[in-house]
Amino acid sequence: MKAMIILNPSSGKEKAADYAEKIEETLRDRYDKIDILRTEKEGDAAAFATEACISLYDTVIAMGGDGTINEAINGLAEQNHRPALGIIPLGTVNDFARALNIPLDPYEAIDILKEQNLRSVDIGKINDHYFANVIALGSIAEASYNVSPELKTRFGSLAYFMEGAKSFLKGEAIDLVVEHEGGKWEGHTFLLLAALTNSVGGFESLAPEAKLNDGTLHTFIIKKVSVPKIASLVPSLIKGELEESEDVEYIRTSYLNITSDKAHVVNIDGEEGEPLPFKAKVLPGHLDIFVPF
């Protein structure tokens, strides 16, 4: 049995090395070979995870924030051999870990590895990339790129909400054509959000109907409305009641084809992605992930 630990040294407030040692200690009785690989630049985690597939590792443990986890998933996705994935959340928001009920305390998350309890979960594919949690379009999604590391450290997931709220109240809409398995939607929107899980931006009830392996992109399109109406949607967003609003189009679909007459950039798992158009689909039960009993 072989395990690879992918460690982002910049995460975890300089305790990442201690966590890696704890993982090694936890896995020692079960695995004959344990390798620790440290990322130095963007793309390293994906490359390491792909190498784990090629070299037939049994398990990959990804330690870091949502960006590191997203990279690891991109390295594992659609490989002929896919190791089981363990997640040790060390980031600001940790959406995927929240959705999986993985404790946000790293030591508690490490304890889950002892249980060896696996669950098959969906991931998404958007053009040639993969995502675990959410894709988003609109000025609100683009506003998240303006959140500085200092704000993330100080306010956590609230920093994204604060920056997004500024854009929300400016009332900036974009034109989209959205094709899905139930038909087509065309119009102006402030925000399109397509979620695989119930946790988005640290808000765990935004997409309450989303399950980890239901094969569905839970898609919310917030239509162009007046600024006061936008403000009135905020409580619904926080309480997970967006789908009940007449100003929100709620679509359950296994795929999305989205175009626009402008080069808007899609937000993928909280990171800046690529410009439109794009095609997205669900890969059902694609990865086995360690979760609590």
Over residues 237-259, the mean pLDDT reads 79
The per-residue pLDDT for 179 is: 98
2, 27 contact by CB (below 8 A): no
Query: How do beta strands 174-180 and 134-137 pair?
Result: unpaired
Structure tokens at 192: 């399109």
The per-residue pLDDT for 16 is: 81
Over residues 101-113, the mean pLDDT reads 95
**In the chain, domain spans:** 2-116, 134-285
The contacts found for 272-276 with CB under 8 angstroms, 24 or more apart, are 272/145, 273/126, 273/129, 273/135, 274/127, 274/129, 276/137
The per-residue pLDDT for 246 is: 73
**What is the architecture of the domain spanning 2-116?**
3-Layer(aba) Sandwich (3.40)
Query: How do beta strands 217-223 and 248-253 pair?
Result: antiparallel
134-285, CATH topology level: Tumour Suppressor Smad4 (2.60.200)
**Secondary structure letter of residue 264 according to DSSP:** P
> For residue 144, what are the contacts with CB-CB under 8 A and spacing of at least 6?
160, 163, 164, 201, 267, 270
pLDDT category of residue 173 using cuts at 50, 70 and 90? confident
The per-residue pLDDT for 215 is: 95
More confident residue, 95 or 100: 100
Catalytic residue numbers, as ranges: 271
Q: Is the peptide bond before 277 cis (omega within 30 degrees of 0)?
A: yes
